[in-house]
Structure 1
Amino acid sequence: MWVFLLKHRRYRTALLSSTTILVLLYFQSSVLVFNYSSYGFVSKKVPCACSICVADGGNSNWFSERYNPNIPLLLNSTNSALGANVSKWWKGLQSNAGNYTEAVDQLFSLFPDEEHYSDAGPDRCRTCAVVGNSGNLLGSHYGPLIDFHDFVIRINKGPTEGYEKDVGSKTTHRILYPESAMDLDNSTHLVLLPVKILDLQWLISAFTTKNITETYTDVPSTIQANKDKVMILHPEFLRYVYDNWAEGHGLYPSTGFLTLIFALHVCDEVNVFGFGATSDGIWHHYFETISTSYESGIHAGNFENETINRLQQENKILVLKGWT
């Protein structure tokens, strides 16, 4: 039923009501209501083939003020030069700056050096599931719905094996950093979140010399992954998310928040799973029993959570929080 409804959400634009679209997703006796009440019209300039397109800024001034479609998302040899402000901010996150230029030269002798996701257009409708690690996924039975999306973007070490019913089995992208690295299958894009130049050096080492085994903690010396599918988030993109979306809160954005904003730029329709607390207000990962907290640490969890809620209010994403 979920797969059927999502498919027809893309193509049956004629069913758009002038007040509300109610898409009912049934599982056993549970019902989810998708409310798009603010869409009383269809934009004359349609940026994609979905019934509602993320990048259509005409539907939200709040979104348009923050969303920059021209920001570089992924690093390559032609866009690797950093502006002074970006360079100062990014290098300020690390205690040992290292040689950025040397690292970039090595990166693109090993990994794909190309422009990605520049194929936006009126004939495309790319659906994305951003899958976080919240315990609210347990018992959700979201697995088939998650796997139905074109892209399934997972975060850090969130496993699928043993949890397929609730989190799905498909992974097209996994965003991680050295301290959260895990082995990937051959079809998954490893998307590196580089908070420091040492992260770039670790990526090179993991596929060559395997000599980096420690950053501020122990890290794997190597990783199983397809080097032809490696991508690196651009430091300018990290700064953009910090400035435009986190509005300068925290030291730098969390991996989950960066992943969500990344999805807003590469997807035409974004559905979000596994973010937030369980229904009883407990914060923990679905694969752990240890409680976590989004309020403390180097990230501005409260502000990020408010921004995610606002994105849903502006009908740019749909957040599904499970049953538990």
Structure 2
Amino acid sequence: MCNLGHTRCVILLCAVLCLICLLSIRRPLLEKDEATSRTVSPRHKKLPLPGSAQELKNRSDKCRRCVVVGNGGILRGLELGSLINRFDVVIRLNSGPLGEYTADVGNRTTIRMSYPEGTPLHWVDSDPDITFVAVVYKGVDVSWTTAMINRISVPLWDWLFFWQKVPDHIPLDSHRFRLLNPGVIRETALDLLQFPPPRSQLWGNQMNVPTIGMSALNLASLLCDEVSLAGFGYNFSVNSARLHYYDKLPMRVMQQQTSHNVKEETAFLQKLIQDGAVTDLTGGIHCSF
């Protein structure tokens, strides 16, 4: 017998009935979710998941040390190869070769990071566990990466949109490919370098695209506990100085490009080095403009 009055009793009974109904509906939904999780496609199960048992197994308590090896001419003759080889993770950029330059740049590669036009036409890395990280800026970059993974031909139409020749084959298994998260590039440009957001314009470049070296530095900070740089910096005080360690392009070529704001990037790197956040193995970042 209810002591709360007829109206309040009716309200209370309705509330109890609603709760019972919700619980009876929720249980089948939970059972359905569990059934769905048990029928995940086998193809998806092959993909490594963040925090998976295998990933945790491969981790260790020791500090992971990264070196990002740029392609600067300052590397030539410094014979840092053995030092570079001792890092836990060696990140190389674009088509930076090894071979005859091993004494200066080492011969280990953990990650080679490149956009299509910068990728080596003739593959130079021999590490069996290498990962190729594709940096994509345009639609055909994704199409090219897909072709490399699946070992198929790049569509003829796509070739028209590359500004220089790109490889038609990369001799790696499909699980050795990754796409760089565009968020890494966005964070590098807008948050770290504080470039203005991109805007539409009819002609010219906005000089707000970070160099691949800067994006690689940001990636390294996500992968490792300590980050060092080698082959970074531009000595614009000597126009005839080598731009790269592997060719004879003069430094003035970099001064003529209109996509990257290397002055702002250098100032940012100098601050990182001054604060002890990263280490400059070759000392080129403090070259003056």
Report TM bin, short chain.
0.5 to 0.7
Rounded to whole Å, the distance in 2 between the matches of 1:210 and 1:307 is: 41
In the alignment, does 2:128 pair up with 1:212?
no
Partner of residue 153, structure 1: 91
**CA shift in 2, pair 1:279/1:203, >3 Å:** closer
Q: Using CA pairs below 8 Å that are at least 6 residues apart, which structure has the higher relative contact order?
A: 1
| Alignment partners' CA distance in 1, 2:146 and 2:170 | 11
Measured in 1, the distance between the counterparts of 2:177 and 2:136 equals 13
Native 8 Å contact 1:212 1:221 kept in 2: no
Alignment of 1:62-73 (within 5 A): none
Residue deviations 1:146-195, cap 9 Å, x none?
00000010000001110111111111101011111222433211011111
- Helix, strand or coil: the match of 1:133? coil
Partner of 1:124: 62
1:13-69, Cα deviation, whole Å (9 max, x unpaired): xxxxxxxxxxxxxxxxxxxxxxxxxxxxxxxxxxxxxxxxxxxxxxxxxxxxxxxxx
Q: Which amino acid aligns with 1:234?
A: N
Confirm whether residue 190 of structure 1 aligns to residue 151 of structure 2: no
Question: Which has the larger helix fraction?
Answer: 2
Partners of 1:116 and 1:150 lie apart in 2 by 20
Aligned-residue offset at 1:113: 5.5
TM, length-normalised to structure 2: 0.67
Runs of 5+ consecutive residues of structure 1 not aligned to the other structure: 1-107
- What is the CA-CA distance between 1:299 and the residue it aligns to? 1.0
Number of residue-to-residue matches in the alignment: 216
> 1:85-164, aligned counterparts within 5 Å?
112=47, 114-115=49-50, 123-164=61-102
Task: Please give the alpha-carbon distance, in whole angstroms, between the structure 2 residues aligned to 1:116 and 1:266.
Answer: 14
Task: Verify the 8 A CA contact 2:149 2:173 in the aligned structure 1.
Answer: no
Q: Which residue of 2 aligns with 1:300?
A: 261
What is aligned with 1:274? 231
Cα distance in 1, alignment partners of residues 236 and 85 from structure 2: 24
In structure 2, do the counterparts of structure 1 residues 147 and 122 end up closer, same or farther at CA, with 3 Å as the change threshold?
Answer: closer
SS at match of 1:253: coil
The structure 1 residue matched to 2:209, chosen from 249, 252, 274, is: 252
Structure 2, unaligned runs of 5 or more: 1-42, 197-206, 285-289
Please say which structure displays the higher CA radius of gyration.
2
The DSSP-based 3-state class of the residue aligned with 2:272 is: helix
What is the deviation of 1:283?
4.8
- CA gap of 1:116–1:219, structure 2 versus 1, over 3 A, is farther
1:287 matched residue in structure 2 = 246
Could you tell me how far 1:240 is from its partner in structure 2?
A: 1.1
Match of 2:169 among 199, 222, 234: 222
CA contact (8 A) 2:111 2:133 kept: yes
Give the 3-state SS of the residue equivalent to 2:99 in structure 1: coil
* 1:162 alignment partner, SS class: helix
Query: 1:1-16 alignment to 2 at 5 Å?
Result: none
Q: Distance in 2 between matches of 1:310 and 1:168?
A: 27
- TM superposition shift of 1:227: 2.0
Residue 231 of structure 1, aligned match among 144, 159, 178: 178
1:187 maps to a residue whose letter is D
The residue aligned with 2:272 is: 311
Q: SS at 1:187's partner residue?
A: coil
Q: What residue number does 1:45 align with?
A: none
Alpha-carbon separation, structure 1, partners of 2:93 and 2:143: 21
**How far has the Cα of 1:322 moved from its partner?**
6.1
Aligned mates of 2:283, 2:106 — CA distance in 1? 13
1:166 partnered with 2:104 = yes
- Corresponding residue for residue 24 of structure 2: none
Query: Contact 2:184/2:218 (CA < 8 Å) preserved in 1?
Result: no
**Residues 122, 169 of structure 1: alpha-carbon distance in 2 compared, 3 angstrom cutoff:** closer
* CA offset digits 1:220-244 (Å, max 9, x no partner): 2221123212111111221111111
State the alpha-carbon separation in 2 of the partners of residues 262 and 207 from structure 1.
22
Aligned Cα RMSD in Å?
2.9
What SS does the corresponding residue of 2:79 show, helix, strand or coil?
coil
- CA 1:236–1:280 in 2, change beyond 3 Å: closer, same or farther? closer
What is the CA-CA distance between 1:246 and the residue it aligns to?
1.8
- Write out per-residue CA displacement over residues 98-155 of structure 1, whole angstroms, 9 at most, x where no aligned residue: xxxxxxxxxx98x956438986999230011110001111111101100000001000
